[in-house]
Amino acid sequence: MSLVKICGITEEQEVEYVNEAGADFMGMVMFFPKSKRNITVEKASSLIKILNPEITSVAVTVEPTLDQIREIEAAGIQMIQIHGDVSEELLQEIRIPVIKAFNVHDLSSYERYHQADIVKGYIFDAQTPGSGKTFNWSVLSDIPHDEKFALLAGGLNPDNVAEAFAATHVDGADTSSGVENDTGIGKDREKILRFVANVKKQ
């Protein structure tokens, strides 16, 4: 069965939607104040308390410092998703499993992360994460697959996710904007339920 990650969770009510839908991962954007979805470590700690223990919590970060990584680990968040570059030294310091996110317009570093055991999965994302924009999925056709899981992201929603699966060979899908309210503030219960159900059918 395919994996599904709902990203950019900011409130308790949204955690309940993720629990109800039965996603595999719940992402929380941290240490990135430019994002409208950014939350504090304290808020993330309170959200994971009500998360179904079968759902994996993920701290979503952009080039985090070691101090920030330590705060995430201490908060009990289970995985860290990293956008941007991570040095070899920093990677070796991380104690929780990593999901490495790639901007599909720059896959040059992809090979390097194959070697790192701490990296358990990949996310192939659009140029600007969380922008709700798709990309040409055919760029993924030459990517070599390994034992790590691969999630597709970037502008996915309940209506296009089946088409995205048909065009790629990924293990699952990740969304944020595609399950938000029409106002763009907060998540929509019905869209989350439909997104998860449509991914699980794949």
Residues 6+ apart with CB under 8 A from 97: 78, 79, 80, 118, 119, 120, 121
Catalytic residue among 24, 67, 125, 159: 125
- For residues 169 and 139, give the distance between their C-alpha atoms in angstroms, rounded to a whole number: 12
- For residues 152 and 126, give the distance between their C-alpha atoms in angstroms, rounded to a whole number: 9
CB of 156 to ligand LARABZUK, least distance (A): 6
CB of 182 to ligand LARABZUK, least distance (A): 14
State which residue has the least CB distance to ligand LARABZUK: 130
Which residues form the interface with ligand LARABZUK (CB under 6 A)?
Answer: 7-8, 27, 29, 32, 35, 37, 60, 62, 83, 125-126, 129-132, 153-156, 174-178
Q: Which is nearer to ligand LARABZUK, 52 or 127 (CB)?
A: 127
Q: Residue 34 carries which side chain, given as an amino acid letter?
A: K
Catalytic residue among 7, 24, 174, 188: 7
Q: Which residue has the tokens 């570093």?
A: 109
- For residues 178 and 185, give the distance between their C-alpha atoms in angstroms, rounded to a whole number: 12
CB of 137 to ligand LARABZUK, least distance (A): 13
Q: Which is nearer to ligand LARABZUK, 69 or 153 (CB)?
A: 153
Active site residue 7: yes
- For residues 6 and 190, give the distance between their C-alpha atoms in angstroms, rounded to a whole number: 13
Q: Which is nearer to ligand LARABZUK, 115 or 177 (CB)?
A: 177
Q: Which is nearer to ligand LARABZUK, 25 or 91 (CB)?
A: 25
- For residues 176 and 9, give the distance between their C-alpha atoms in angstroms, rounded to a whole number: 8
Q: What's the CA angle centered on 201, arms 97 and 167, to 5 degrees?
A: 80
CB of 76 to ligand LARABZUK, least distance (A): 20
Active site residue 188: no
Task: Please state whether beta strands 149-152 and 172-175 pair in parallel, antiparallel, or not at all (unpaired).
Answer: parallel
Active site residue ranges: 7, 125
